[in-house]
Structure 1
């Protein structure tokens, strides 16, 4: 293969990675549309979006230290803008407690965490050493992000249900990992390539589990069984005559319906989304958050 062909192939994978990553960044939009309609974040969490912003900023810093990673800068710049929009949107509709917790997380990760990385590497490292240190930080952080889907895989096996693991999102994330793996491999940049090996592995496992369990009967947890029994007990209580009694029964039925219909998003992903990141307090003990897939 000639050097020109090699460069064209690298560019092709980089552009494809940009396109797929852009679609993944937009995947939480339905979640935020629900927030807009309800004018409340309810059980949503800002963690996936803050982590996504931190990851994008980290990869931009790494790409700026290198001379041939412009496509990393382009997609992660878009990622920074989109994640910032999500965070601002969340803060606008979040209740006071959730807003304060989000601001604390933003301060810790973006201001303190990223700020220390930049300051320490600028003042205590030079040249190739600086690039190597930042590259290792990106590598370790990306590995941690890619390990997150293990919780989703465990939940699928435990419940025999793929309710919280959409096949289209899993396929998109797998394709995203494949494109960035080959982009990093062609650049001979293993800080980009190695984390995406895990991304490919977990993505393939998710799709395999989806086809294994998609027609299986889900296992209902003990907590949900107890909850359903308690609802049945309330509904079976003697009725008091009058219109008011019927209203009470209607309220109980409505509450039961809401318990079963509150949407949750897996964190790989965010069902991150990102899958992106909405779960009810009752479901939080059974369903892990969605992982945010980084652009590299």
Structure 2
């Protein structure tokens, strides 16, 4: 029985690594576009900085444990790939966006993570330290999984899934399932609990995709053609000539679509990696 549980834990951990690996690579097409255009355009660095912070936090937690090696492997890769994304972003970002990114990096990575490590090292010890860091990981992961609510709200408002890639949603859902069972089999609820929320949001995203996938893109122009009006006569008064109304063509972009485009989200969805 013990061997079976160990094999299942290893299987879910490996599957979690594989799926999370693909999720970490998901932004590559986005950065290829950035490279081609030599500009970050409207993209933001926040998801990648948060992703790096999350990976570092889970590595620190895993180092305080004794049986979560697979948590270390995937988040080590996460640290590397998120760092590459951030460096790439900083290279092509305009000055204002670059400065904002650097401020976020200093605040979250150096100050935030640094304080967590220092305080837990000096103010806690042994099992207590692991419990504290585990709770920090749990709360932070829950906050990260709540982040896609903005995208879901936009999908419902615009009735369009053009900015919600279904393959990424499926991958994130599968990742949540794998890491949930990995944490459950290890009796580590700091790993398991956040992924329940990740699974729920993943299912909601897929339901919305099925509901709205056949809708036309919200940024489609509505063209109004008033043709075949060559001449409309208004009753003549003294010395009044006939008024000719020529063909009218108008292209109207709905206000709702304009707002949706202005608030276009990043292509990247944060992966907690656990």
TM-score, normalization by structure 2: 0.84
Partner of 1:17: 16
- Report the Cα distance in structure 2 between the residues aligned to 1:214 and 1:282, rounded to whole angstroms: 17
Partner of 1:174: 173
Q: Does 1:83 align with 2:90?
A: no
Partner of 1:283: 261
- Report the Cα distance in structure 2 between the residues aligned to 1:47 and 1:23, rounded to whole angstroms: 20
Q: Is the Cα contact below 8 Å between 1:146 and 1:291 reproduced in 2?
A: no
Once the two structures are TM-superposed, the CA of residue 29 in structure 1 deviates from its matched residue by 0.2
Once the two structures are TM-superposed, the CA of residue 282 in structure 1 deviates from its matched residue by 7.6
- Report the Cα distance in structure 2 between the residues aligned to 1:187 and 1:208, rounded to whole angstroms: 31
Q: Tell me, what secondary structure is at the counterpart of 1:136? A: helix
Gaps of 5+ in 1: 233-255, 260-279
Partner of 2:64: 65
Once the two structures are TM-superposed, the CA of residue 61 in structure 1 deviates from its matched residue by 0.1
Q: Tell me, what secondary structure is at the counterpart of 2:112? A: helix
- Report the Cα distance in structure 2 between the residues aligned to 1:11 and 1:142, rounded to whole angstroms: 22
Across the aligned residues of Structure 1 and Structure 2, the Cα RMSD in angstroms comes to 2.4
Once the two structures are TM-superposed, the CA of residue 216 in structure 1 deviates from its matched residue by 2.8
Q: Tell me, what secondary structure is at the counterpart of 2:61? A: helix
Once the two structures are TM-superposed, the CA of residue 281 in structure 1 deviates from its matched residue by 9.7
Q: How many residues align?
A: 244
TM-score, normalization by structure 1: 0.78
Instruction: Spell out the pairing of 1:1-296 with structure 2 (5 A cutoff).
Output: 2-217=1-216, 283-285=261-263, 287-289=264-266, 290-296=268-274
Once the two structures are TM-superposed, the CA of residue 146 in structure 1 deviates from its matched residue by 0.4
- Report the Cα distance in structure 2 between the residues aligned to 1:42 and 1:207, rounded to whole angstroms: 28
CA distance 1:214–1:198, shift in 2 (3 Å):
same
- Report the Cα distance in structure 2 between the residues aligned to 1:78 and 1:45, rounded to whole angstroms: 21
- Report the Cα distance in structure 1 between the residues aligned to 2:135 and 2:118, rounded to whole angstroms: 16
Once the two structures are TM-superposed, the CA of residue 220 in structure 1 deviates from its matched residue by 6.4
Q: Is the Cα contact below 8 Å between 2:154 and 2:260 reproduced in 1?
A: no
Structure 1 segments of 4 or more deviating over 4 A?
217-221
